[in-house]
């Protein structure tokens, strides 16, 4: 016969087992309910992005670890969308492409990864929990993360390849495959059909003009102007600016009232600098073309000499400005702003390493342009 003590111990053990089972069942039910809600919110979003706020984040953190899913969060602030150097609208659009591609490549009921965007205005407490005080910023919260500040974030330099680099970040850190990216086509089907119809209608008129030799392609002035434009944009480094999406200028991080048009350091160029360099090179090129093709047609020897002298003086001035600019960008002369009459490089104590990418400079620039605490001055942030 079991003793009363054994019966009591057995009853306590049985009660503990039942309570533990009930607790696990409740936790599992709560996690399933939250996953179902997240899947519903995701299905209502065209891109699969879920708006994260303080309340929803609190419910996610209340789940027992390891949580049944990971979170990829894009931190946003509408107030900073006008800061062209941050490229927040572009990065958010790329993040939406990443989210939509994940949905296309996986089942609708997939729950291993959810994509969120969070707005500072509505979720200041969440920004504080993550320790985010600068943008752009993307965080990956894996199932076993306890302290949100310990979650993994994308480096500033990784944003340069947009959605492709975001996909690589997720695949390398979360071991979750995103799959191929599905970007929207440049033209819709209706637009393509309209262009084809327009081409068919105008084809007879175009052929008539071509046969008669009355098109722009038969005018030498068109090719002359085109050659000048090609030369200008090639020497101005326009393709570099387009590919890297360089801003025309950036704000001085120590004095927001000042603008920087020339960035000090090799391998880097802002838009305004490209146009200035292209203008100076084009002046020299046009003068050289004038001296070799136009000046020889002038019969007056005095006029030839005067034009030659003016062309040499202007060319020397342009080359001198290019030399000053090159020296200033290499750190040899930071007085270019006074000589070119354009605000240029920062003081020597602000000089960055030549190997640093412009995005690293944007990261430091954000201390004054995008520092959320400084911009909105929230006392509890």
User: Hey, what are 166's tokens?
Assistant: 């975001």
pLDDT beneath 70: ranges in the chain: 1-30, 263-268, 328-381
| C-alpha dihedral, 46 to 49 to 53 to 56, nearest 10° | 100
What is the reported pLDDT for 360?
A: 46
What is the reported pLDDT for 137?
A: 92
Strand runs labelled E in 231-312: 250-251, 259-260
What is the reported pLDDT for 208?
A: 86
What is the reported pLDDT for 166?
A: 92
> How far is Cα 165 from Cα 151, in angstroms, rounded to an integer?
18
What is the reported pLDDT for 257?
A: 78
**DSSP track, 108-152:** TT--SEEEEEEETTT-HHHHHHHT--SSSEEEEE-TT--SGGGSE
What is the reported pLDDT for 206?
A: 86
Is pTM beyond 0.85 here? no
User: Hey, what are 345's tokens?
Assistant: 């490089």
């Amino acid at each position: 016969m079991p003793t009363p003590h054994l019966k009591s111990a057995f009853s306590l053990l049985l009660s503990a087992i039942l309570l533990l089972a009930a607790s696990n069942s409740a936790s599992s039910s709560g996690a399933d309910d939250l996953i179902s809600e997240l899947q519903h919110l995701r299905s209502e979003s065209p891109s699969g992005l879920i708006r994260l706020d303080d309340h929803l984040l609190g419910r996610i953190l209340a789940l027992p670890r390891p949580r049944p899913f990971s979170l990829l969060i894009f931190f946003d602030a509408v107030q900073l969308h006008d800061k062209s150097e941050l490229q927040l609208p572009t990065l958010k659009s790329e993040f939406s492409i990443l989210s939509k591609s994940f949905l296309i490549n996986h089942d609708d009921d997939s729950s291993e990864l959810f994509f969120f965007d969070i707005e500072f205005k509505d979720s200041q407490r969440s920004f504080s929990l993550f320790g985010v005080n600068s943008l752009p910023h993307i965080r990956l919260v894996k199932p076993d993360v306890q302290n949100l500040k310990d979650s993994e974030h994308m480096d500033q330099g990784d944003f340069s390849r947009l959605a492709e680099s975001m996909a690589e970040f997720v695949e390398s850190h979360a071991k979750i495959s995103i799959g191929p990216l599905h970007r929207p086509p440049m033209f819709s089907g209706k637009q393509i059909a309209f262009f084809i119809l327009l081409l068919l209608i105008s084809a007879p008129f175009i052929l008539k003009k071509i046969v008669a030799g009355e098109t722009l392609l038969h005018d030498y002035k068109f090719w002359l102007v085109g050659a000048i434009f090609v030369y200008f944009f090639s020497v101005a480094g326009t393709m570099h600016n387009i590919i890297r999406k360089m801003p025309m200028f950036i704000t001085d991080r120590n004095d927001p009232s000042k603008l920087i048009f020339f960035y000090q350091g090799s391998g880097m160029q802002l838009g305004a600098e490209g146009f200035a360099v292209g203008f100076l090179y084009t002046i020299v090129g046009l003068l050289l073309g004038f001296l070799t093709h136009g000046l020889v047609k002038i019969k007056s020897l005095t006029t030839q000499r005067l034009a030659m002298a003016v062309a040499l003086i202007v060319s020397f001035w342009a080359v001198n400005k290019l030399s000053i600019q090159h020296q200033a960008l290499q750190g040899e002369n930071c007085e270019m702003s006074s000589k070119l009459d354009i605000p240029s490089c920062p003081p020597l104590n602000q000089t960055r390493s030549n190997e640093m990418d412009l995005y690293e400079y944007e990261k430091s620039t954000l201390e004054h342009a995008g520092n959320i605490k400084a911009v909105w001055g929230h006392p509890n942030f």
